[in-house]
Chain A
Amino acid sequence: MATATASTSVRDTGIGALLRHRAVGKLLLLAVAAAILIPIVNAKWASGAWPDALTVDLTEPLGKTTDWIIDNRDSHPLFVYFLGNISNGIVLSIRGVYLVLLAAGWAGVSVGAALVAWRVAGVRLAVLAGASFGLCGLLGMWVPTMQTLALMIVAVLVSVVLGMLLGLAGGLSDRVFRILRPVLDTMQVLPAFSYLLPVALVFGIGVPAAVIATVVYAAPPMARLTALGLRGADGGVMEAVTSLGTTARQRLLSARLPLARKELLLGLNQTIMMALGMAVIASMIGGAGLGDRVYQALGSVDVGAALAAGIPIVLLAVVLDRVTGAAGERLGANTQDNSPLRGRRGWSVAAAVTVVAALAARFADRLEWPESWIVNIAEPVNTAKEWMVDHIYTDVPVVGGTADWAAHFTTWVLDPIRDGLQGLPWWSVLLIIAALAWLIGTWQTALTAVLAMAATGVLGVWKPSLDTLAQVLAAVAVTVVIGFAVGIAAARSTRLEALLRPVLDVFQTMPQFVYLIPVVALFGIGRAPAVAAAIVYALPAVIRITTQGLRQVNGAAMESSRSLGATNWQQLRQVQLPLARPALLLAVNQAVVLILAVVVIGGLVGGGALGYEAVFGLAQGDLATGLVAGTAIVCLGLMLDRVTQPTERRTKKGA
């Protein structure tokens, strides 16, 4: 997991003081504006919740759009000549990749993966790659793993090409970059859940829709990092190259792109991670493969089966992440490569050995993964789950059971926050958002946040949006408290950090759907399990960013404070935490974005609110409910992102 890096710029007290002055100024200005506007607004639409006069009912036009699409999908030129070809191209290319993978057999694929890993990243990762594929087979998931891999390969390729084209345009032209940046910013705060429905409606349920949804989700980091890499090219080198009389194209190919290799690889890494994250969610619209297995397991309350399909996803993610990450590091280090697989010869050796392995398996009639080699983990896992449910669900002496906690959390935390938010007059909610966003950012971010929140009212989903917001706020509070505590501990102990790393890896890459069954088993249905799943999902990112932020605090500042006799606690409170403030803010921001993404999936376990409406829309093919909920989720995401956005933030979703 390439974690987001935080800037460690140190603000001196002068700027800090000025900032405080500016904060007061902003608040004063806002108060004046409010004093003028609120009486007018209140006189016109005096109501607590969002006024009906300011809503737009989209039921009819959206219903008509649905009908039009369904009736014209098999005849209209737009579908037949354009979208149909895209869809067809996707089906054909995935089929091609899939057939190659099947033809190579498990032996060919495992050996090939190990050799490629060896060639680009060294022996250790070769072993990891080979073993991981073996494990996928052992779990009885070989065929679904290959289906997912085929889908991933195509989706990642398309994302990379699309991302690079966008990134090239943005990297070479300032104007395109200015237009592109807010678009990419926005795309990255969209929860994937919100655009499944429109994609499925246009492309129909199935693999093409799943690929398109994945590409929309995974292309932005590639575009952003390509543009960043190109723009960051060393001025001196560029001048030197220009002075040699090169053409623009030669400059691009011989200097700019090679100089941006690190960013390009990081972009590839991020794109792969996001695509894998989407694999399971896309199964809701027919993505097949491992995701579908997890989804079906969810349908029959089978944690064991969900885990058996979830582990290969984690393994794929870890292998791909480590290999691309290691390849990126190698690019930077200019060490002598002594491995037997170096250079072009290395590639041909790898290819030849792979073919031999595949043929050997074929002649031994072992092309498919042997049934007798499958280890069934579903049963023991389910037994363990049953034990947990039987023993800690309720009435545990003194501490109470998990179900009791969930009930208390709902009544004492979630209900008051929700009722409080829904009880506030609508204009005061907007005012609070404006104040928060302006304090932390610029007037533009404040405006975006307010408009985004207002949009949920206009769409007629003000109340469910506030319900979702309440769940997000409660989850963020818990996540930040635990995340900061663990992050601080990890920053002070290398051993703890090393211990945590694999755990965080697993939790970060395990598909969110896998969490949903255990949390229902432990917390019952309702909003509490949705919040619990979101906390589990967002914690790793918060811990990582916190640890990294604290670690990067200027060593000199730490030294000098220690020499002044500061205790550990003083040092933490007065030096480390204030200096790491940008990183901590970033952690909060990431927590908010990640939590929203899971809280809405919580619609599947009784989370209600916007998530339920999105699920309902998806399940009933009801664009009017689903698309409105999806749009509201997007607006909520935008608003939350802007309210928590550190002024200078350049990172990506998913950490």
Chain B
Amino acid sequence: MRVISAATAGCALLALSGCASDMTKQASPYANAEGAKTVTLSVQSWVGAQADVAVAEYLLKHELGYRVDKVQIDEVPAWDALSQGRVDAIMEDWGHPDQEQRYIKDKKTIVPGGDVGVTGHIGWYVPTYFAKKHPDVTNWKNLNKYAKDFRTSESGSKGQLMDGSPSYVTNDKALVKNLGLDYEVVFAGSEAAQITQIEQFAKQQKPFLTYWYKPQWLFKKVPMTEVKLPEYKEGCDADPAKIKCAYPHTPLQKYFNADFAKKGGDAAEFLKNFKWSEEDQNEVSLMIADKKMSPEDAAKAWVAGHESKWRGWLPK
């Protein structure tokens, strides 16, 4: 029994002793494992973000001599992890006003890192082969006419509007209700599941209606046409319950942990300078997602062909 009581006392002492340990300043146990300088990047689940990270990782490694750790986290938790310093940077964010308010303005633990150079847009899409046959499907006013074409076993008697990962920004449930559409929002649950399903539909040339976003490599494999929703105006999406308009066009942003931005040296400066175009990103994305190249090989291929572009990102 003495052993046990000694151990308990030890634990209690540890807990009560002055050795304060700020949980919010702990890096991953795997970081800097071989004495190298490490940068930890958060990878989001969509391939565009993976392309950003792959190229940044490749250059950090081969041009600046860093080790790069990647962690896959959903968007909102990634903000939290960034604030705590568990990751140093988010390379592509699609707009999170609540988090920006909390962490950038109030707590000042995160700082903006500038544009990625890519403009994102969320919308509703039908496959182009279907839109060609029925041109009027591309306006939301005619969607009810086609509801029966979009029916699946999951949506029952209504048409299916397929949404993806629950972590993505979406107003679709409210939109369906407020626009009086005869549709059921079915969540694929993850982007992987959604892409798999879209590819299956496309193979059989079946009609479908899906939440999707640009830029995205899948458009090269499955051409899709956007369905016009009521036009987006500044502030029309202020009240989530009353939304009746399309999604905005968002210039995608980078965000850094505040400490990292200050003390991150070359890595921080490089990531700040990182800025490329939609075509660049799609080129890398397509190599990763469709040709199933490893992100590293894809980044290598892109880096080899675009030296003039990335030279400018390196710290002077």
Bound together? yes
**A85-B21 CB under 8 A given contacts A286-B71, A389-B200, A620-B166:** yes
Tell me if B273 is interfacial: C-beta within 8 Å of chain A.
no
Asked if residues A288 and B30 are in contact (CB atoms below 8 Å), the reply is yes
CB within 8 A of B292: which of A88, A379, A618?
Answer: A379
Asked if residues A98 and B29 are in contact (CB atoms below 8 Å), the reply is yes
Asked if residues A204 and B23 are in contact (CB atoms below 8 Å), the reply is yes
Asked if residues B23 and A205 are in contact (CB atoms below 8 Å), the reply is no
**A298-B22 CB under 8 A given contacts A95-B29, A410-B153:** no
Tell me if B65 is interfacial: C-beta within 8 Å of chain A.
no
Write the nearest CB–CB distance from A11 to chain B, whole angstroms. 43
Tell me if A394 is interfacial: C-beta within 8 Å of chain B.
yes
Tell me if A378 is interfacial: C-beta within 8 Å of chain B.
yes
Most chain A CB neighbours (cut-off 10 Å) among B23, B195, B292: B23
Q: Chain A residues near B33 (CB, 8 Å)? A: 95, 98-99, 102
CB within 8 A of A619: which of B43, B86, B167, B194?
Answer: B167
Name the interface residues of A77-98: CB closer than 8 Å to any CB of B. 79-85, 87-92, 94-95, 98
Tell me if A207 is interfacial: C-beta within 8 Å of chain B.
yes
Q: Which of A238-246, A495-503, A559-567, A603-611 contacts B (4 or more CB under 8 A)?
A: A603-611
Chain A 197-212 against B: per-residue CB contact (8 Å), 1 yes, 0 no?
Answer: 0001001111110000
Q: Chain B residues near A134 (CB, 8 Å)? A: none
Write the nearest CB–CB distance from B231 to chain A, whole angstroms. 27
Q: Chain A residues near B241 (CB, 8 Å)? A: none
Tell me if A397 is interfacial: C-beta within 8 Å of chain B.
no
Q: Chain B residues near A73 (CB, 8 Å)? A: 23-24, 84
Chain A 84-122 against B: per-residue CB contact (8 Å), 1 yes, 0 no?
Answer: 110111111011001100100000000000000000000
Q: Chain A residues near B86 (CB, 8 Å)? A: 204-206, 286
Asked if residues B189 and A88 are in contact (CB atoms below 8 Å), the reply is no
Q: Chain B residues near A611 (CB, 8 Å)? A: 189
Asked if residues B166 and A615 are in contact (CB atoms below 8 Å), the reply is yes
Q: How far apart sit A300 and B43, CA to CA, in the bound complex (Å)? A: 12
Q: Chain A residues near B50 (CB, 8 Å)? A: 300
Residue of A nearest to B106 (CB): A71
Asked if residues A524 and B28 are in contact (CB atoms below 8 Å), the reply is no
Tell me if B262 is interfacial: C-beta within 8 Å of chain A.
no
Name the interface residues of B1-55: CB closer than 8 Å to any CB of A. 1-2, 4, 14-16, 19-24, 26-30, 33-34, 43, 45-47, 50
Residue of B nearest to A206 (CB): B86
Tell me if A302 is interfacial: C-beta within 8 Å of chain B.
yes
Q: How far apart sit A300 and B73, CA to CA, in the bound complex (Å)? A: 14
Q: How far apart sit A608 and B188, CA to CA, in the bound complex (Å)? A: 8
Q: Chain A residues near B80 (CB, 8 Å)? A: 70, 204-205, 621
Most chain B CB neighbours (cut-off 10 Å) among A95, A298, A403, A520: A520
Q: Chain B residues near A71 (CB, 8 Å)? A: 107
Tell me if B152 is interfacial: C-beta within 8 Å of chain A.
yes
CB within 8 A of B20: which of A84, A208, A285?
Answer: A84
Write the nearest CB–CB distance from A544 to chain B, whole angstroms. 30
Tell me if A57 is interfacial: C-beta within 8 Å of chain B.
no
Name the interface residues of A525-561: CB closer than 8 Å to any CB of B. 525-528
Q: How far apart sit A605 and B23, CA to CA, in the bound complex (Å)? A: 34
CB within 8 A of B45: which of A200, A299, A382, A527?
Answer: A299
Residue of B nearest to A211 (CB): B29
Q: Chain B residues near A382 (CB, 8 Å)? A: 292
Tell me if A462 is interfacial: C-beta within 8 Å of chain B.
no
Q: How far apart sit A150 and B33, CA to CA, in the bound complex (Å)? A: 13
Write the nearest CB–CB distance from A628 to chain B, whole angstroms. 15
Tell me if B196 is interfacial: C-beta within 8 Å of chain A.
yes
Tell me if A295 is interfacial: C-beta within 8 Å of chain B.
yes
Chain B 177-192 against A: per-residue CB contact (8 Å), 1 yes, 0 no?
Answer: 0000000001111111
Asked if residues A87 and B187 are in contact (CB atoms below 8 Å), the reply is no
Residue of B nearest to A71 (CB): B107
Tell me if B193 is interfacial: C-beta within 8 Å of chain A.
yes
Asked if residues B192 and A301 are in contact (CB atoms below 8 Å), the reply is yes
Residue of B nearest to A414 (CB): B153
Asked if residues B186 and A526 are in contact (CB atoms below 8 Å), the reply is yes
Asked if residues A88 and B196 are in contact (CB atoms below 8 Å), the reply is no
Q: Chain B residues near A379 (CB, 8 Å)? A: 292
Q: Chain A residues near B176 (CB, 8 Å)? A: none
Tell me if B81 is interfacial: C-beta within 8 Å of chain A.
yes
**A84-B165 CB under 8 A given contacts A286-B73, A298-B190:** no
Asked if residues B76 and A619 are in contact (CB atoms below 8 Å), the reply is yes
Asked if residues B15 and A249 are in contact (CB atoms below 8 Å), the reply is no
7 nearest CB pairs, A to B: A619-B167, A616-B166, A84-B21, A95-B29, A410-B153, A88-B21, A299-B45
Task: Please list 16 pairs of residues, one from A and one from B, whose beta carbons are closer than 8 Å in the complex, sorted by A's number.
Answer: A74-B84, A80-B20, A80-B22, A81-B21, A82-B15, A91-B26, A203-B23, A204-B80, A205-B73, A295-B72, A300-B288, A410-B153, A520-B192, A603-B166, A615-B189, A619-B166
